[in-house]
Amino acid sequence: MLMSLLSASTMATNFNYTNLEIGFTGNPSGLAATGRVAFMDGAHFVVNGSSQFEGDWIASGGAGFHAPINGFVDVHGDARIYSVKFPQDDKHDFGELAYGVNVGLRAWILPQIEANAVVGQVAFDSDDTRSIVEIGGRFHSTDALSIGASYRANGLYKEQFYFSVRFEF
């Protein structure tokens, strides 16, 4: 039993964590981009930007981890610093600073189909924290290209659908 636990920790991850993802949201509409670069086994940097083009933005950057659970499922997470400007916010010209953590799972459910889920929290100060929940899937047409759709219920924007294309490097 001990050998099976140790062998799982030495497996390579089931997914690529060096990629560029470009997407759009629906209701409210907007654009987003996320870049990830694996800098060592089990660790990556992440940057993200999104906007609804109503004088708003969410920009974040940080570092994360990724590890296999078994031959089909990875666990991943990150810690980020955020700059958030909401459309109705007139008092923060350069956005509010916040920090956040996210943790998620990615799983192969069919040879080219991935299911994923992420939960997290963004804290602006001790009295203002926002939850992030995302559930979705991706179709990997090739090793270098995939398309995805997900449902986001989060406190940063309204509940929305997110559609994206991801380029793997």
Q: Which pLDDT does position 162 carry in this prediction?
A: 95
What phi and psi values does residue 7 have, to the nearest 5 degrees? -70, -30
3-class DSSP assignment, residue 91:
coil
Bridge partners for 8 per DSSP: none
The pLDDT tens digits for 66-75 are 999 999 999 9
Integer Cα distance of 73 and 122 in angstroms: 25
Cβ–Cβ < 8 Å for 160, 26 = yes
Cβ–Cβ < 8 Å for 37, 16 = no
| pTM as predicted | 0.88
End-to-end CA distance of the chain: 36
- Nearest Cα neighbor of 46 from 131, 113, 120 is 120
Integer Cα distance of 121 and 36 in angstroms: 20
What residue has token string 């930007």?
A: 49
Mean pLDDT estimate for the chain: 90
Bridge partners for 133 per DSSP: 119, 153
Q: Which pLDDT does position 88 carry in this prediction?
A: 79
Fold held by 19-168: Porin (2.40.160)
What does the domain layout of the chain look like in residue ranges? 19-168
The pLDDT tens digits for 107-159 are 999 999 999 999 999 999 878 899 999 999 999 999 999 999 999 998 788 88
- Amino acid at site 90: D
Cβ–Cβ < 8 Å for 19, 35 = yes
Q: Which pLDDT does position 16 carry in this prediction?
A: 95
